[in-house]
């Protein structure tokens, strides 16, 4: 696993060069000419209005990651929406993404803001592991094709379905998860979606969704562990995973389940959905 040097410094963007470097990193992450990139002007204005726009700099002064979000009002509560987080490939899986989220959390708690939202693709196992296993978010919302068709090569072809996690940053659940830094085992709950097929196949295939497990307090939902590789090799199979997971998540979240944990595997990973998770946390 890549190790992130402790000499990496996270600080707010403060110069024209900082803002431009952030735009460059957005394009390096989501593709040159990415139409949803955040401009230097918006990055700067967001800071004036209580947002967070900060970068992670290595010992040479190079930008190796950043986090950006806006503060506003949702359902009468002042909340923060974290819009973007990116880390350069050479330092991924070394804990920098978590450090950026912790920086963001500390900044917001110091301002009295305790709730944060963002989005991520349910098929991205790296993001799922960070958000659920490391940070302790809860997921109650699934948005179908939230951003329309994307021109980013990371998302093109399978739509922009998104989870909307809620991070109750000062809750007991989050504090315990941050202290423990590991997920609860997903266990042997019945499976609403499992992988099928011979394990010698290049990629796992989705089984048939089971939408009739409402009598259970917990269910499992499988996803491929590397959707990026799967998309590069077989887009039709990636679309099949999107269709199957969409059917399951829409069904069970609409019926009051919450996504509460995630367990990574070699070929197949799994979400855990439970009822009344926050009340038991």
Q: Domains of the chain (ranges plus CATH)?
A: 9-180 (3.40.630.30), 191-280 (no CATH)
Q: Answer yes or no: are the C-beta atoms of 261 and 272 closer than 8 Å.
A: yes
Q: Output the pLDDT for position 122.
A: 98
pLDDT for 217: 95
- Which residue in this structure is represented by tokens 């979606």? 193
Predicted pLDDT at 233: 93
Render pLDDT for 151-165 as a digit per residue (tens, 0 to 9): 555 556 789 999 999
Q: Which of 261, 276, 70, 93 shows the shortest CA–CA distance to 183?
A: 261
Buried b (16+ CB within 10 A) or exposed e, 157-183: ebbbbbbbbbbbbebebbeebbeeeeb
The pLDDT score that the predictor gives to residue 6 is 62
**Of 141, 98, 145, 86, whose CA–CA distance to 117 is shortest?**
141
- pLDDT < 50 stretches in the chain: 1-3, 279-281
Calpha distance 104→109 (Å, rounded): 9
Report the C-alpha gap between 152 and 147 in whole angstroms: 11
To which H or E segment does residue 192 belong? Answer: strand 191-193
* Sequence-distant contacts of 208-211: CB under 8 A, at least 24 apart: 208/244, 209/244, 209/247, 209/248, 209/251, 210/248, 211/247, 211/248, 211/251
pLDDT at 92: 83
Mean pLDDT, all residues of the chain = 90
pLDDT of residue 8: 92
Select from 18, 87, 74 the least CA-distant residue to 47. 18
* pTM across the whole model: 0.87
If DSSP codes are grouped into helix, strand and coil, which group holds residue 30?
Answer: helix
Q: Which residues are paired to 263 by β-bridges?
A: 270
Query: Nearest to residue 165, comparing CAs of 125, 102, 127, 118?
Result: 118
The rounded distance, in Å, linking the Cα atoms of 128 and 139 is 11
């Amino acid at each position: 696993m890549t190790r992130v040097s402790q000499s990496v410094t996270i600080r707010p963007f403060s110069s024209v060069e900082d803002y431009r470097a952030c735009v460059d990193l957005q394009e390096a992450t989501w593709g040159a000419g990415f139409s949803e990139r955040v401009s230097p002007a918006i990055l700067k204005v967001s800071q004036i209005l209580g947002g967070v726009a900060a970068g992670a700099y290595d010992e040479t002064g190079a930008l190796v990651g950043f986090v950006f979000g806006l503060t506003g009002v949702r359902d009468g509560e002042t909340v923060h929406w974290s819009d973007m987080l990116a880390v350069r490939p050479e330092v991924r899986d070394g804990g920098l993404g978590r450090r950026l989220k912790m920086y963001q959390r500390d900044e917001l708690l110091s301002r009295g803001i305790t709730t944060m939202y963002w989005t991520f693709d349910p098929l991205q196992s790296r993001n799922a592991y960070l958000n659920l296993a490391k940070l302790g978010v809860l997921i109650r919302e699934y948005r179908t094709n939230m951003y329309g068709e994307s021109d980013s090569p990371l998302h093109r072809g399978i739509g922009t379905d998104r989870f909307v996690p809620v991070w109750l940053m000062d809750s007991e659940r989050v504090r315990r998860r941050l202290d423990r830094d590991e997920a609860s085992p997903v266990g042997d709950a019945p499976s609403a979606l499992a992988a099928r097929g011979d394990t010698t196949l290049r990629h796992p295939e989705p089984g048939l969704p089971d939408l009739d497990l409402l009598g259970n307090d917990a269910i499992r939902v499988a996803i491929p562990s590397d959707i990026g590789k799967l998309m590069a090799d077989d887009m039709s199979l990636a679309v099949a995973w999107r269709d199957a997971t969409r059917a399951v998540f829409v069904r069970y979240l609409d019926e009051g389940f919450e996504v509460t944990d995630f367990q990574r595997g070699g070929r197949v990973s799994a979400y855990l959905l439970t009822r009344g998770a926050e009340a038991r946390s």
